[in-house]
Structure 1
Amino acid sequence: MPNLLKTTVLATSIALSACSASPTGRNQLLLFSDQDMSSLGAQSFDQMKQQQKVSTDKKVNAYVQCVAKSVTSQVPKQPGFNEWEVVVFDSDQVNAFALPGGKIGVYTGLLKVAKNEDQLATVIGHEIAHVLADHSNERLSQSQLANAGLQITNIALGSSEYAQYRGATMAALGLGLQYGVLLPYGRTQESEADIVGLEIMAKAGFDPTESISLWKNMAAASGGQQPPELLSTHPSHSTRIQDLSAKINTLPNYGAQKPNCSKS
């Protein structure tokens, strides 16, 4: 059998055996184990803590930790770790992320746009939803099939052997912008994280209607610089707001007590 045909047959076999479903019922290809993903997430997070400035502001840290703890309290226990680790990075980036293995990073610049605890909970819920929906695994799996023979999880992040793949793997974990690799999550994954994240933050007692205010703030902060939706992998702000509004109208009253996470 020719090598190309062998590769095609192997890839097809792997794909058929690794099919899964996302929290919204969407079909996914997941080739990596939870242990593999948790290991990559932990290594990536350790590198970021070494390379980026960590905030020592006690009030800011207490505020972010309070919101994150409230949100993660509504997340089912995940394989590979017991608690979520939350770190605040001192940077003007309007950004946050969550990694497999229970790692959450929040940039202080985000707190200028997410103006209250409900809006911050929207972002944290969204990022956690990426982890719950195995979006990083999905993206790495697609990269694995596109690069036959590349065993990403067998390569240590710090080794010279890994260097040529480091950017792509970081991007697949959702850290592309921090490492100069423009590979954001796709529109389907972003929309999925919006909906799943909204449910999580609402269960925690936060106000889901503030998600609309958040994306209006995001639109204002972008200064109209966001590209047209068809030219972007992210949904437009208007589409996000429309989808979130529709979802809010279907959310039940979870009855959770509203957290009290004060900035001051």
Structure 2
Amino acid sequence: MILAFVLGALTACTQSPTGRSQVLLFSENDMQQLGEQSFTQLKEQERISTDRGLNRYVQCVTSQLTATLPGANQWEVVLFDSEQINAFALPGGNIGVYTGLLKVANSQDQLAAVIGHEIAHVLARHSNERVSRTQLANIGLTAADAALGQSGVRASAMAALGLGVQVGYLLPYGREQEAEADKLGLQLMAQAGFDPEQAIALWRNMAAAESGNQPPELLSTHPAHGTRIQGLSDLLPEARTLYMQARAQGKQPACDR
């Protein structure tokens, strides 16, 4: 049994877009189904914004970002009417944005920084990685695939997708995944013609909005705002090059609220 566990884990090893080692136990189809089912549940539970202007604005920013991605996959974008300062993307091409975020993301470029970061989590298969880690810890490798259909395991899988409000607890992305999403998201927004320097302005806004509400970095799986800002600053030279190339190619997003 131990041998099967080890061999199975080794065969499931792969690499993220930045070359980081990952263990992914589930197929893309499994994750897409989980993402779509979770998104459907969210749309039934959350209030959806009917503000046409804001919906058009969020859709505009998102479409500019997804247009840079390979393939012809369609991404569904829903604007939820909530004071939460949040957004997410799920496997299967589903993106949720909360109206509260628009009070902190003050421009199209800052909104692109958030949505690009969330899309990057999907591109790097971070959800699969989190669900896989959960199953390795709870039930072992050999039963993981079959267990995804069980209600209790599905609840923990939804939590691993970041949908903790629905299941009562949250499994956040780890620091390495957050740093990876920062890097990929910054590249994505720059390639779409959004100003990557506005990602830093966004996180300064986030720091001001969440002042006093974030735990010390050592007590959190997420980087502190200062650490994130420094990391983004280090990535700016490469992102600026991508941005200038995109602008030269005529990519000049003009999404008005």
TM-score normalised to structure 2 length: 0.92
Distance 1:35 1:153, change over 3 A: farther
The corresponding residue for 1:125 is 116
Q: Which sections of structure 1, spanning at least 5 residues, go unmatched? A: 1-5, 156-160
Question: Quick one: which of 219, 239, 258 aligns to 2:252?
Answer: 258
Q: Which residue of 2 aligns with 1:42?
A: 36
1:220-241 Cα deviation digits (max 9, x unpaired): 0002221111110001100110
State the aligned residue count. Answer: 248
1:66 aligns with 2:60: yes
Name the counterpart of 1:112.
Answer: 103
Aligned to 1:158: none
Quote how far apart the aligned CAs of 1:145 are: 1.5
**Is 1:214–2:205 an aligned residue pair?**
no
Cα displacement (A) at 1:177? 4.4
Which residue of structure 1 aligns with residue 75 of structure 2? Answer: 84
Quote the Cα distance in structure 2 between the aligned partners of 1:136 and 1:32. 10
In 2, Cα distance between the equivalents of 1:98 and 1:108? Answer: 15
1:225 to 213, 220, 227: 213
Corresponding residue SS for 1:254: helix
Write the mapping of 1:87-98 to structure 2, written as runs, cut at 5 A.
87-98=78-89
Contact 1:36 1:153 survives alignment (8 Å): no
Checking the alignment, whether the CA contact within 8 Å between 2:194 and 2:252 is kept in structure 1 is yes
| Residue 20 to residue 126, structure 1, CA distance change in 2 (3 Å) | same
Secondary structure of the equivalent of 1:10? helix
Following the alignment from structure 2 to structure 1, what is the Cα–Cα distance between the partners of residues 155 and 224? 26
* Contiguous gaps of at least 5 residues in structure 2: none
Contact 2:147 2:153 in 1 (8 A): no
The verdict on how the C-alpha distance between 1:179 and 1:89 changes in structure 2, with shifts beyond 3 A counting, is farther
Q: Aligned residue for 1:244?
A: 232
Q: Give how far 1:178 is off.
A: 5.2
Q: What is the percentage of aligned positions where both structures have the same residue?
A: 58
Using structure 1 for the length normalisation, give the TM-score.
0.90
Instruction: Tell me which of 129, 143, 163 is aligned to 1:175.
Output: 163
Alignment of 1:140-155 (within 5 A): 140-146=131-137, 147-148=139-140, 149-151=143-145, 154-155=148-149
Asked whether the 8 Å contact 2:25–2:144 carries over to 1, the reply is no
- What amino acid is aligned across from residue 97 of structure 1 in structure 2? F
Alpha-carbon offset, residue 10 of structure 1: 1.7
Q: Could you tell me how far apart the structure 1 residues matched to 2:62 and 2:44 are?
A: 22
TM-aligned CA deviation for residue 54 of structure 1 = 0.7
Q: Which amino acid aligns with 1:216?
A: R
Which of 174, 180, 184 is matched with 1:186 structurally? 174
Q: Which residue of 2 aligns with 1:3?
A: none
Residues 168/258 of structure 1: CA separation in 2 closer, same or farther (3 Å cut) = same
